[in-house]
Structures are given as structure tokens and as C-alpha cells.
Structure 1
Amino acid sequence: MKIFNKMNGLKRIFTIGVSCGIILNVFAPAFVVRADSQSTQTAQETSIATDSLASQKESDLNSTVEEARIWIPNETVRQAINKALKRTIDINTYSPTKSELASIKGDFRLDFKDPVDSLEGIQYLTGISSLYTTNTKILNEEELSKIGKLTQLTYLSMGNSNLTSIAFVKNLTNLTGMVLPNNAVRDVSFSHDFYYSNNRKQYNFQSQQIEETIETTQTSNVTIPELKVIGVNNNQVSFEGFAINSSNNPNHVENNFIIDNLKPGEVKKFTYRFADRSINHAGAFSGTVTITVKNTLEEAMPLTVKYQDVNGNQIAEDQVINGYIGDSYDVSTEKYNLKIDGYTLKEVQGSPYGILAETPQTVTYIYEKNATKAKDVVVHYQDANGSKIADDQFFSGNVNAPYDVSTKEYQLEISGYTLEKVVGSVTGFLSEEEQNVTYVYERAEGQPVTVNYEDEEGNSLSPSEILNGKIGLPYETTAKTIAGWVLKTTPENAQGVFSEEMQTVTYVYSKLSDNEKNEDDSATIGKDKIPVNQAETTKNKGKTITTKNKTTVSKDKSSLTADKLPKTGELMNHSWVIIGLLVIIVVFFIAVIKHTRKK
């Protein structure tokens, strides 16, 4: 029985020990926080906090169901929360649970000077009563909605926090103090319910510094309305005068600011004061509005309108359009789409509509010259002596139209001639003055003319003569006087012109009878028996001589000798005379000899 009682006593002792350990694990952090808040930390308390942290980590490892932890992305917010949780060792890395965040009580200060782009984690600080963010620039106003979830807040101080809107405060119905000076808030009507509530103890929207930039393309009488600034009673807060007296200030007329002159690219800035006079409170909405007005006009590069003919030659003065970048232009109007005498518009290169830009632009009107009848190009055909050998040809068209008379149509092949040279330009442009092109030809060598002397049976009676000359030049032949023969037929082509074909002239003779021969001999004594034609005759045997524009006759010496031989009838008559004379001489000598002997 005693042993049993001892066992029960040990059980009770063990149970009490475990319970004490659990109680210590749960409440030890709270004791540490309270000790830190009282700023009376001692070496012993530091040791307790360290032991508590170790116990918490051990508890986290042993827990079967672990509470989710909240990651706080912004380092400034994370450090502020962990500082409140007394997480000094891992202040930069620790991610608390929601219950830990909810355990933070009293005032919470986010008064770091570094800008904050995320307030994630603050929405879980449901145990704090006051929030201070003085001098902390909140970059993302969407994050302010997280503060709006802290409905338990009784005091909000956010001076110089870069605020432009306070819409997030409408749900903070437990506030007794709303202190938001030195921001850029434009509308404080969301503070209306708070201002008129019985809970209000502090209210401050002083020294707001609102800035606005306005861009315009106007250069004169630039009208800018007063900025829309809304007071606590949803009223337009009126202009209270310029913050600085300066000649650069615009005119203020009926809630508008008027700038007389604003040059392209010029910037003007002015500041005026405002105050919400709908309430009488020291912390009433007030401040300044600074408006920066910038003329965005920039000088554009010029647009040039050109006027050219189809060959790119300028036919009218250029026109230039200047202005500012973005200005529209239209060069399709009569001012730019010119009617030019003697020309007709053919096409437009470039866009006649558009806007002026940073780079130069060009619009070119291309004109075609109206048809003007030009003087003809006259093509002549002459020989070397300037004699016309073919009819002239004419190339017609309009002024400035090209011509070409080097083609086969104009460069003729003329029978009997070869082209020697061309005088004048065979290509060019028609003009208002007549132009001449002369093709000069030279006569070609003709085929020879053969003159034959034959009997009726076609037998040659005398060597043939060869006549040479240029094609188209005349030739003339005559019959020969051949002893014992008489001309029977004179050919029809005894006279003619040299041509590209060989020609033959044949004189036909018939033989003389004896009586005809005697008559012929008596008729021909003392006469030249060699006929000569009108052309020059050479007596060089075996040669044919051609001289320019003359017909040359070739004749062998054998034919000349033959022509000088006496005819048959002539020999018989002369023999009797000679015999008679010889008889007389012989008789005379015989008589003389006899007479001499007698003496």
C-alpha cells in the first residue's frame, strides 16, 4: 500500500512538472515583451528571453500542427514588426505568425526614412491602438488599404508620408486623432464623419504641398483652371493668393490662371495658397498648389514642296512649310498644287497630307510639258559632190521629244552607193529649230562593159575593149573601122551607164566584096582608121585604165598595126604602077648607056 501511495505521489509530481513546462512555454514570450517594453531589461531577463526563444523553437519542431507564417516583403516593415516582437537576433529574416502579429499592442511606429513600397503584414496588427508613419514615404497608395483594415485604431499619425488620398480612413471609425499634415492630399472630404464625430480630439491637414504638371501646345492666352481641391465639407477650396509675388505669376481671373505668352518648349511655374474656410479649426485643410506649365511644342524640320518636270528640272520656286512637331500640313490646296503654264501635272511624289516631324520631308509635284510641235529633223541623201541621190526624209514630233535617225528607216542602202560619212547628229531631242542630218554616199565601182567586134558568125575581128567606171556614170562606144569589113549592126547599148551587172556591147561586121574593097580603099586613103569614142583612149596593150568619172578604152598595139596594113585591092593597083615606073627607068638607063658608048 505504501508503494502504491508512493507511485501516485510520483505521478502527481510528474504531472505538475509537465504542466509548469507548458505554462512556461506559452507565457514566457509575453513576459519577455513586457520586460522589453518597460526598458528595464537585466542580464537575468536577457537570459530568460534567450532560453524562451530556444524553448519556442523546440516547441515549433515538436508541434504537429504549425500555424502559417506571414512573409513580410518590405525590409523596413519587417524590421519594425520584429522589433516590436523583440526578435533581435533574426530581426531581418523572421516571419511571424498571425497570432504573433496580433499580439503586438499599443503604439506601432513605422518611422523609418527609407521609402516603403509594400505594407504587407500591417493588416494583421489588430492589437495596436496607434499607428505612426511620420517621414516614411509610402510609394504605393494601393497599400494604404491595409491600414484601412485596422478598424481598432484610435490614433493615426501619418505626417510627411507622401499621401495624395485619404480614402482608406473612411472605415477607421474609432479614431480620436487624425494627424496627416505635410502630404499632398487633394480631397479631405473622407474625414468629414470623423471631424464631426464626438470622438475627435486631434485633426490636422495643414501644409499640404500639391504639385501638378500641365502640358499644352498653346503659345498665348494659356488658360489653366484652379486645381480641384476638396475640403472637409466636399467644398472647392478657393485660391488664397500667390505664395510668391513675382512678375512671372499669371493673371488670376474668375478661378482661372491665364499665361499671356508661352513659347514652344518653355516651362513656367507658379505657386498659390489655399485654405478650407468651410470650418474654423486650427488644423483645417490648407497648403500650397504648385503648377508647372510646359509648352510641348518643338520646332519641326521643314517640309519642302518642289516643282519639277519629268527630267527632274526645276520649273517653279520651292515652297517651304515650317511649324512644330505634330502640326498637320496639307499641300493639296491651290496654294501648293500649282498650275504652271505650258505644263500638266503628271504625279505627286510624297504625301500631300501629314504632320510635321523631327526629320525633313519633301513633296514633289512632277509636271509634263505640254505638247508643242517641234521643227522637223530633215534627213538628206547626197553624193560626194553634194548632189541629191534620194528623197529627203523627215522626223517629226513635239519639242523635247527624242529622235533617232540612225535606224534602217533613215540610214538607207542606196543602190550603186556606199555610205561614206554622216553630217549632223543622228540622235537627240526635237526643238523649236530645224535640224539637219546628211548622209553622204560615194558611187560604187560598176561592173565592166565589154565591147566586142565580131562577124556575123560571132568570130572576133578585133580585140575586145573593156570599159570601167562608177555605177551610174555614162559610157559610150563607137564602131571600129576594120579593113575588109563593114559595120552591119550598131548595138542598142552602144551608149549607157555602168551598173552592178556586167554588160556587153557587140558590133557586128560583114565582109566586103572586091569592088566594095576598092571603093573602100579610095574612100579611106588619108583617113585615120582607128575609131575613138568620146571617152579617153589609152594604147597600152593588155591594160584597162579607169579614171574617176571617165570611161577608158583599152586597145592592143596589134590592132593598131593591123589597121595600118593596106587592103587587098590597094596592093594590086600599086604593083602595076611600080612595074611601069621600073620599065621606064630601065629603058632610060639603057638609052643613056648607048649614047655614052657612041661618043
Structure 2
Amino acid sequence: MRNQMTCKEHYKMYKQGKIWVFAGIFTASMLLGVVDSQTVHADTTADTTAVSTTADTPSTSAKEVTISTDKAATTETDSDQTTESSSREYANETATTNNVDNQNATTSSDLAETQHDQTTANQPDTTANTVTTPDKSTIANQDSTTETADSAVAETTKGTTTSQRVAESTSQVKPRMASLRSSQVTTTPTAASAVVTPTVKAAESTIDQWMPNKTLQQWILEALNNSSWSTKPADVVISDASQITQADMLYLKTLDIGVNKTTYIDGKTSFSLEGLQYATNLTYLNLMPSLNMKPYTFYGDITDISPLSTLTKLTFLQLAQNRISDITPIAKLDKITYLSVVYNHIADFSSLNAAQYTQALSIGAQFITQDLVYIPKTGMYAMVNPVKAPQGWTMTMTTPKGAIGKVLMTSPNGTVQIFWNGGTGSMSNDAQTINYQMERDQIEPGQTYNPWATVYPNLVVLPYTYYMDSQFSFKDSQGNATGDAPVNLMTPYIRAEAAANVTVKYVDGQGKQLADPKTLTGFMNEPYTVTAATIPGWALDKTEGATSGTFSADAQTITFIYKEAVSTVTVHYQDDQGQTIKADTAVPGQVGQPFDIAHPTIAGYTYQRTIGDAQGTYTETPAEVTFVYTKDAVTPPIVTPTQKVTVTVHYRTADGTTVAPDQIITGNKGDRYETTPITKNGYQLVTTPANATGTYGDQNIEVTYIYAATDGTGDTGQPEQPDKGKPGKKPGQQPGKQPGTTESPVTGGAPAGINQGVKTQSTVITAPSRYSAAQLATKSVSNQHSTTLPQTNEKATTPWWGVLLLALTGGTFVGHKWKREN
């Protein structure tokens, strides 16, 4: 039973050898649409393209040392000036001759003691040498020698030991180890002579740059290696001047050129003290030249003492017998108690406070020679007094009856200048003015008579014979004479008749006065020189008249003609990297007028700072100002895509049958669009839509053209109006056609017996209708069914053939089964 229930029988639906019959039936059924009888429409897919948019320091500078140029020396004589190179050569030769061998420490120390202990050998005579009678008599009170000593100040540190000096220097100077100077140092603590090989130091300017005076370099070298004058440690060896550094200058405590050195070069070139400003620990400084050195000059050539202004620890300063004319650089060195500046060219001592110099203040024996002045024929002349006493002192003035002698060289080359007095003079009570009465007419050149020929056989002939001579003596705060030799003031003069005036005018190009005119007065043959005045906003264009000449009996006029002075401020525009972001602009303006330049706004940049002055006054020198900006961060702009609107154009019949493929046109919102109908055989345009042309809006637009089918002759298939009154013919019946039927067009290539395109029958309207002819045509068309697939032109096939085949197949199967069972 189980076997019967589980046994299966397989029935073949075909007989052996008939496989092809059933295979053909199945294939035919599938092809004829057994499963789905729905008419298939071709699908039209619009291509869509997606668019993607993508938005697009300092190196360490080397130390610099500024070298100041020696000031021009005052000309003492009319002798031909030698070149500076030969002067330097002579100075170097002198330094070489006077150089002391410091290899022997005992000798150097003894020399230092000798120099400090001298009391009379190297001090000048403070008594002025004057001619007492105008009739060429012998000079009264003439000393046989001009060398007398100022009192020396004992060195307070003389008794200190070397170890004490080294210990003292530790708190002031950071000692350098010998390894800084030499890569190989052989030292024995108890040995007197250590072998040291110096090395050249890198990354520091050489001594020639910051101390150009070779003679001074040698003096510094000697002082550094003198343990009495320097706190330099024993293990720091300096054997050559080229090794000296600015830091080494701090070891110096004393510098004394002594009895065998001189600051003389040639009487014209200045002896430079540049570099001494670094020796800020100096307490004792003696720069008085020796009278024992050839060529035995009385005066040295120091003229500029400004480097000494930093030596704030100085207590002793000796500057006698030089050519100094300005004392103000040392006026603020308030620790100095001993100061000697005798035998120089200083007239104004008002910057010094006499109370400060408790040990000594020696300022006498100054020789000041002024320029030539013209005075009236009467000989009366008032002059501003250039001589000023120190603070706390007063002074008196006298007029020598003979002459003032100035010694230039001592024996054996005794040389002198003689300034013969030509009249008398007196000083006002406030010491501000000197009133002269000159009695002698000038004689040019100076006289050759020398009343001091026995002592000073060499006379330097001056350009003039007679001078307005004055001598000034000082009194201290107690009214006591200071004992200094007088300060000597000598002014050459020429008595002359008054000349006509010289008028100086300042005008523009049209003759308009720009400044008040000036009137110069003078004496016959007196020289004059005028220069153009500086007038803000104006520049000199040309000059009429001689700017230099001599006064004469005829009046003279000098006219300076100016033009507007124009200057510019160049403005640069840069980013913070120094790159130009905008072209430079030039802002012109008149010199003397103000300017105020504002930074502009530059797109993409933000103002940061200004380099230079954006506000100021135009000057003759063009100015520059730079505005610096930083670049703004770039933010990609938000791009709103343009809205695209689609217009779809349909070409259809009234029942929706497609006549032609749709056309799609696109555009931007707000743009105009325009569509056109098409022409196609078998169809005629019936309706043109109202929106065939228009403007793209927010929504997509559909435009539909309505067509009606024709028979190829333009007949749209619309029913004709019933014929009236025609016998033998029913209304609406066409000749040769059966009533109630119409012909169906047949598409070529279709199987015989299969209709394509329209139904096989169409109702013919034979009775009056409530529809118009056009409406009837539309309804007639709408009742038709298209059997042609759009765009593919395929024909639909009826599914009834498949059903029939299945029925036959099923019947055969049933019959066969029935037959077997029976």
C-alpha cells in the first residue's frame, strides 16, 4: 500500500519521435504572448548628466665699530703742509724709536716708578713770555728754560702687590683664560717666563678698526703688560698690539706716556684718541708730550678729547701742551680731582666747576688766535669776549705793552711766534665785552725782528704784525689769584674807511619778497661772503650778484631767486612677506608743507601696520612710507546653480497616440523659449497649444501639439455632412462601400489578415448630431486604437492564437489519458 502510495508514474505528453512537435508548440505559445496579452509600449528614457563643480628669517650680524675721523687741526704756521701718510710714517718711526722693551719685567716696573715719581722734569713753565717794551728792547723776565714742573699726584695703588691687583680686577673685569689666545700654552706656575703662542680671535673687529692710531696701540700694549698699570692676569698673554681687544681695555688702570713719548705728529694732523673710550677702568691718564723728544716741539697734536668722555673713573688727568680747544667732553667726569690743561688753545672754561678739582686745576697759558677783523679808522672796536672763567672763579684782563710770544719748539730748535700789540683794551664789568682802542696801522706781513733770538733763534713770521692783545688772569672763590699764567687772546686787525653797504635780497621768480633783506656793513677792502638763506618750501634757483667779494665805495646788491621746492613721498603697498600687492604711488607736495597719507583699502587684504612716517612735513629729501597688509583667508564663494527648466514638446493625436518623438528643450528661469510644430505624412496639425512660446518659469513645462490622422490626401476621416435630396443614396453612404463599414489602411509588410493601426469597423453617423463637425472628428479619432508601437513601428499580435494552441494541446492530453484508462 505504502508502495502504491509512494510509487510515481511518469506520463509522457508526446510519443517517441514527436519531441519536435511539442517543442514547436511551446515555443509558439511563448512567442505569441501566452503569459501576458498586454500591448507593449516602448520606454523612452531621458538622459541626465550630473555636473560636479569644484572650487578652486636672521643671521647674527657681525659687531660693528664706528671709527671717527680726526678733526682738522688748527693751522699754527704758514709752512707747507706735509701729507698725512708721511706724518703717520714719522709718528710710527717715533713710536719705534721710543718703544721700550717690556720683556724684562723689572726694567718696565722701574720705568713706571720713574715716570710716576718725576716732579719737575716734564712740567711746563706757567709764566707767559711777553715783550715789555714796544721799541724792540730785550724781553723782560725771560726764563732761560721753559720746562718747569706741575705738582705730580702720587699713585695711590703703587704699594699694592700683584696678587692684590689681580684680586681687585676680578670684581671689575672677567679675566680671559690663556686658552682663548693660544691653542698651545706651556706654563709653569713658578716660572718667570711662560711660553705662550697667541692665536687670532675670530668674529671681532681688529684693533685697527676701533683704534686707528698705531702709536696709541703701542702705548696700550706696554701698559697692559705693566703689572703696575694693568690688572691683566698673568696667564693672559698679549705680545702684539694686533691681539688687543676692546675687552682687554678694561684691564687698564693707568696710562702715562712719561718722559719719552710725544703726541706730536706735524702740528697739523690730529693725534687720535679713538679707542680709549673702552678703557673705562682708567683712573690715571697722562697725555702730556715730552719736551725731550725730537723735534722738541712744545705742543702735541691732540685736538679732540671726546673719547675720554666715557672714562668716569678718572681721578687724575694731564692734557697739557696740546692743541685742544674744546674742554666740554670731560666736564662731566666728576671724579677727577686733578686736572691740567695748560698750554692749549682753550678759551671757554665755563663748563668746569672749579670746586670739584680739590687737588689742582691748572688752566693757564692758553694761546687763542682769532681771525682778522676790520675796524674803523678811528681804531675803536668792541668785541664779544670769547674767554670764559670756570664756575666759581672770576677773571681780570690786562693789555701787554710789548708783545706776546708763543714758543713752538725748545732748544736746540728754539722756535717762537711774536704777536705785537697795536693798542689798548679793557673788559666790561660783566666780562662779556672787550673794548679796544687800536693806535697802529697794520703792517703786512709780520715783522722779522726777534727780541728772543738768543733763546729761540727761529722766528715764524706771521701774516700780520699788530694784534689786539689781551691777557686774562683768574681768581678763586675767595678772591685769591690762582697763580696760573694768563690766557692769551690775539686778534689781528686792519683799520679802514667805512665802505658802502652790501644788500642781500630773497625773492621768487616774479620778484616777490620771500624773506626780509639783509644789509651788510664793512670797511674798504674788507672781504665779505654771503650764502643763500634756507626758506621753507623754496629752493634756490639762481643768484644775481657776487656772493663773495670785498666792500667798496659803491653799494652792492646780491639777489637770491627761489622757486617752489617740490618733494614727494613714495608710498609702497606690500604684504607681510614683502611682496608688492599694489603699484607704488607718489604723493607730491611743496617742501615745508605737511602731508598726511591714509592707507587705502585693498580688496582681499587687511591693513596691518605702517613702516615710515605717513604724517609729516615735506623736505628736500624725498620720503618713503610702506603700508603693510595681510592677505585675507580665501573662502570659496557659495555658488547658487542656475535653475534649469525643461520644456517637453509632445506631438500626439487627441487620444494620446504619439505622432513623433518628444522634443526636449532646456533653459534658465526667466529666459524665453519657442517651440514649433512638425510636419508628418498621414497627419495634419489640428491644435497649436497656447504655451507654444513663453518664458521659462519655476516648473517644467509641457507643450502638446494635437494632430489628426489623414488618408494621405489630407482627409482627416471626419464624417461628412449627410447629403440631402439625393435619391438612391442613404445619407452618409459613400459609393461602392457597404453601409456601416470603412476601409482600414494596411501597413506594408504586415502578415495577411492582421489589421494594423485602426479598428476593423467604425460607426458611421447617419443621423443629425448635437456635436459639430470638428467635435465629431475629434470623437471619431479618439475612438480609434493605435496598434503601432511608438518609435519602433512594431505591430501588436492578438493573443487568441496562443489560447487556441493551449486548448488544443490540453484537449489532446486529456484525450490521451482517457484513452489509456479505458
The verdict on a shared fold, with TM-score over 0.5 as the criterion, is no
Report the structure, 1 or 2, having the larger strand content: 1
Q: Which has the higher contact order (CA 8 A, sep 6+)?
A: 2
Rg bigger for which structure? 1
* Structure whose residues are more often helix by fraction: 1
Q: State TM-score, norm by structure 2.
A: 0.28
- Tell me the TM-score normalised to structure 1 length: 0.37
